[in-house]
Structure 1
Amino acid sequence: MLRISKLTDYAVIVLAQMAKCGEGAHTACGLAEATGVAAPTVSKILKMLSRAGVVKSTRGAKGGYSLVRLPEQTSVASVIYALEGPIALTECEGERGGCEQSSSCHARGSWEVINRAVRKALESVSLADMAKVPAMAGPAEVNIPVSTLFQSRQA
């Protein structure tokens, strides 16, 4: 089963809350209260996202954290990448360099297509989308034409 970590799940919840509230600085304590995620966890997430350039921090009495880009321009993929690294279902894709069988693997090309489809799907969902999806409803269906996956391969 494909899963993201609990920390990444919480990060999306926190960032969706920031997207709902609009521009401006948000405190870790305020976000923790609004989302129900523990304050130390929210602080840890915000520090990681700040290092990755997803949010920026401002010091001072009116300081806090704010999104670097608009919610519509911030993909769920960028959040996952910031917290978990490259998005790939298998080791043959990503920055780790592959597995021991990569030179003789006949399925590698197929896995690259699948990995690219997963990344494209996650890139197509923004924080704005996550902020407007009701808690019990799923996001709208995402259609990714297979031909676009092969085009990306050549780029």
Structure 2
Amino acid sequence: MIRLTNLADYAVVVMTAAARVPDRRFSAAELAAETGVPAPTAAKLAGILARAGLLESARGVTGGVQLGRAPAEISIADIVEAVDGPIAIAQCLHDKHSDCALESSCAVRPHWPLINTRVRDALADVTLAAILAAEPVREPA
């Protein structure tokens, strides 16, 4: 199974919540309440995603974070890479010091860049706008 880290998964959840109301500023506590992501994690993600330009942050009483670009301009690949770094399926291509016993004789290693590119492209093809379009309509509370 290929799996995102929990932090990258939570980042997608937080960004989707922000994309539902792209002009609204959210505090970390509001994002946590909206998504169920623990408040310290929501605060950490707000900082990471703001540094990546995916969220814009403002300080002060009316501060918080809001979407940094239109939902159609933010892909799942953008979010995952902001949190986890480059998308790499095989460890031997991601780290310079691999602990793989087959590294020196692996016949598949030359093909991993193609696989990584295809996986990244698939994630890049899914935008926040596409996720929102696929969501069931929420009734106002």
- TM-score if structure 2 supplies the norm length? 0.82
Distance, in Å, in 2 between the alignment partners of 1:8 and 1:103 is 31
Alignment of 1:1-155 (within 5 A): 1-94=1-94, 96-97=95-96, 99=98, 104-134=105-135
Residue identity over aligned pairs, in percent, reads 40
Distance, in Å, in 1 between the alignment partners of 2:10 and 2:50 is 15
Contact 1:91–1:97, Cα closer than 8 Å, also in 2: no
Distance, in Å, in 1 between the alignment partners of 2:92 and 2:40 is 35
Question: Residue 113 of structure 1: SS of its match in structure 2?
Answer: helix
Match for 1:106: what amino acid?
A
Contact 2:55–2:68, Cα closer than 8 Å, also in 1: yes
Deviation at 1:7, TM superposition (A): 1.5
Contact 1:12–1:79, Cα closer than 8 Å, also in 2: yes
What stretches of structure 2 of length at least 5 have no aligned partner?
A: 137-141
Contact 2:12–2:79, Cα closer than 8 Å, also in 1: yes
Deviation at 1:68, TM superposition (A): 1.7
Contact 1:17–1:131, Cα closer than 8 Å, also in 2: no
Deviation at 1:74, TM superposition (A): 0.7
Question: Residue 65 of structure 1: SS of its match in structure 2?
Answer: strand
* 1:67-123 alpha-carbon deviations (Å, 9 max, x no partner): 2211110111111111111101113434x3474765654312322211111000001
Distance, in Å, in 2 between the alignment partners of 1:127 and 1:98 is 35
Q: How many residues align?
A: 134
Distance, in Å, in 2 between the alignment partners of 1:5 and 1:134 is 23
Contact 2:22–2:67, Cα closer than 8 Å, also in 1: no
Distance, in Å, in 2 between the alignment partners of 1:34 and 1:115 is 33
